[in-house]
Amino acid sequence: MKDFDSNKRREFLKTSAILAGGAILSSIPLAGAYAAGRGTIKIALIGCGGRGTGAAFQALETKHDVKLVAMADAFRDRLDESYKSLFGKYGKSKVNVPESKKFVGFEGYKKAIAEADVVLLAAPPGFRPMHFEEAVKQNKHVFMEKPVATDSPGIRKVLAAAEEAKNKKLNVVVGLQRRYQNNYRETIKRIEDGAIGDIVSGQVYWNSGGVWVRPREANQTEMEYQMRNWYYFNWLCGDHITEQHVHNIDIANWVKNSYPVSAQGTGSRFQRTGKEYGEIFDNHTVEFLYADGTVIQSQCRHYEGTRNRVDESFQGTKGRVYLSANNSGRLWDYKGNVLYDHAGKNDPNPYQAEHDELFAAIAAGQYKFADAERSALSTMTSLLGRYATYSGQEIKWEDALNSNVDLMPETLAWDAMPKVLPDANGFYPVAIPGKTKVI
Ligand SMILES: NC(=O)c1ccc[n+]([C@@H]2O[C@H](COP(=O)([O-])OP(=O)(O)OC[C@H]3O[C@@H](n4cnc5c(N)ncnc54)[C@H](O)[C@@H]3O)[C@@H](O)[C@H]2O)c1
Assess whether 186 and 162 both reside in one domain.
no
What does the buried/exposed string (b/e) look like for 394-417 if buried means 16 or more CB atoms within 10 Å of the residue's CB? ebbbeebbbbeeebbbeebeeeee
Q: What is the mean pLDDT of residues 336-342?
A: 98
CATH number for position 327: 3.30.360.10
Instruction: Map residue 298 onto helix, strand or coil.
Output: strand
Answer whether residue 157 is part of any domain. Answer: yes
Answer whether residue 193 is part of any domain. Answer: yes
CA distance 123 to 120: 9
Instruction: Map residue 63 onto helix, strand or coil.
Output: coil
Q: Is the CB of 195 under 6 A from ligand 1?
A: no
Ramachandran sector of residue 96 (left: φ over 0; alpha: ψ -120 to 50; beta: rest): beta
The residue type found at 54 is G
Lowest mean pLDDT among 30-44, 174-188, 273-287, 407-421: 30-44
Q: Is the CB of 260 under 6 A from ligand 1?
A: no
Q: Is the pLDDT of residue 20 over 50?
A: no
Q: What is the mean pLDDT of residues 402-429?
A: 98
Q: What is the mean pLDDT of residues 378-399?
A: 98
Q: Is the CB of 351 under 6 A from ligand 1?
A: no
> What is the C-alpha end-to-end distance of the chain, expressed in Å?
15
- pLDDT number for residue 22: 53
Residue whose CA lies nearest to ligand 1 atom number 20: 49
Q: What is the mean pLDDT of residues 1-23?
A: 45
Question: Angle formed by the axes of helices 128-137 and 152-168, to 10°?
Answer: 20
The residue type found at 7 is N
Residue 57 near residue 26, CB atoms below 8 Å: no
The residue type found at 412 is L
What does the buried/exposed string (b/e) look like for 62-100 if buried means 16 or more CB atoms within 10 Å of the residue's CB? bebebbbbbbbbbeeebbebbbebbeeebeeebbbbeee
Assess whether 228 and 167 both reside in one domain.
no
CA distance 320 to 202: 9
- pLDDT number for residue 37: 72
**What confidence tens digit (pLDDT) does each residue in 361-375 have?**
999 999 999 999 999
Closest by alpha carbon to 286, among 325, 260, 320?
260
**What confidence tens digit (pLDDT) does each residue in 181-239 have?**
999 999 999 999 999 999 999 999 999 999 999 999 999 999 999 999 999 999 999 99
The residue type found at 154 is G
Assess whether 220 and 360 both reside in one domain.
no
Answer whether residue 15 is part of any domain. Answer: no
Q: Is the pLDDT of residue 7 over 50?
A: no
Assess whether 162 and 264 both reside in one domain.
no
Q: Is the pLDDT of residue 30 over 70?
A: no
The residue type found at 372 is A
Instruction: Map residue 24 onto helix, strand or coil.
Output: coil
Assess whether 231 and 318 both reside in one domain.
yes
- Give the position, in ligand 1's atom list, of the atom nearest the Cα of 72: 33
- pLDDT number for residue 31: 56
**What confidence tens digit (pLDDT) does each residue in 33-72 have?**
887 778 999 999 999 999 999 999 999 999 999 999 999 9
- Give the position, in ligand 1's atom list, of the atom nearest the Cα of 175: 1
Assess whether 384 and 297 both reside in one domain.
yes
Assess whether 210 and 150 both reside in one domain.
no
Answer whether residue 75 is part of any domain. Answer: yes
- pLDDT number for residue 8: 52
Answer whether residue 374 is part of any domain. Answer: no
Q: Is the CB of 122 under 6 A from ligand 1?
A: yes
Assess whether 168 and 222 both reside in one domain.
no
Q: Is the pLDDT of residue 254 over 70?
A: yes
Assess whether 174 and 186 both reside in one domain.
no
**What confidence tens digit (pLDDT) does each residue in 87-146 have?**
999 999 999 999 999 999 999 999 999 999 999 999 999 999 999 999 999 999 999 999
CA distance 129 to 135: 10
CA distance 31 to 60: 25
Q: Is the pLDDT of residue 13 over 50?
A: no
Assess whether 165 and 186 both reside in one domain.
no
Answer whether residue 327 is part of any domain. Answer: yes
User: SS3 letters for 90-144?
Assistant: HCCCCECCCHHHEEECCCHHHHHHHCCCEEEECCCHHHHHHHHHHHHHCCCEEEE
The number of folded domains in the chain is 2
CA of 230 to the centre of ligand 1 (A): 9
Residue whose CA lies nearest to ligand 1 atom number 25: 47
CA of 146 to the centre of ligand 1 (A): 10
pLDDT above 70 coverage of the chain, percent: 93
Q: Which helix (H) or strand (E) holds 200?
A: strand 199-208
Lowest mean pLDDT among 20-34, 74-88, 376-390: 20-34
- pLDDT number for residue 67: 98
For residue 318, the enclosing domain spans 181-347+379-402
- Enumerate long-range contacts of 190-195, CB under 8 Å, 24 or more apart: 190/331, 190/339, 190/340, 191/255, 191/314, 191/316, 191/321, 191/331, 192/257, 194/318, 195/318, 195/319, 195/331, 195/339, 195/340
Q: Is the pLDDT of residue 2 over 60?
A: no
CA of 195 to the centre of ligand 1 (A): 38
Answer whether residue 299 is part of any domain. Answer: yes
Answer whether residue 297 is part of any domain. Answer: yes
CATH number for position 60: 3.40.50.720
CA distance 325 to 312: 9
Q: Is the CB of 52 under 6 A from ligand 1?
A: yes
Q: Is the CB of 243 under 6 A from ligand 1?
A: yes
Residue whose CA lies nearest to ligand 1 atom number 5: 51
Assess whether 285 and 151 both reside in one domain.
no
CA of 163 to the centre of ligand 1 (A): 24
CA of 347 to the centre of ligand 1 (A): 26
Q: Is the CB of 126 under 6 A from ligand 1?
A: no
Q: Is the CB of 50 under 6 A from ligand 1?
A: yes
- pLDDT number for residue 3: 41
Assess whether 234 and 335 both reside in one domain.
yes
Instruction: Map residue 72 onto helix, strand or coil.
Output: strand
Residue whose CA lies nearest to ligand 1 atom number 13: 51
Q: Is the pLDDT of residue 19 over 50?
A: no
For residue 147, cis peptide bond before it (omega within 30 degrees of 0): yes
What is the pTM assigned to this prediction? 0.95
* Best of 45, 51, 173, 206 for a ligand 1 pocket test (most atoms within 8 Å of beta carbon): 51
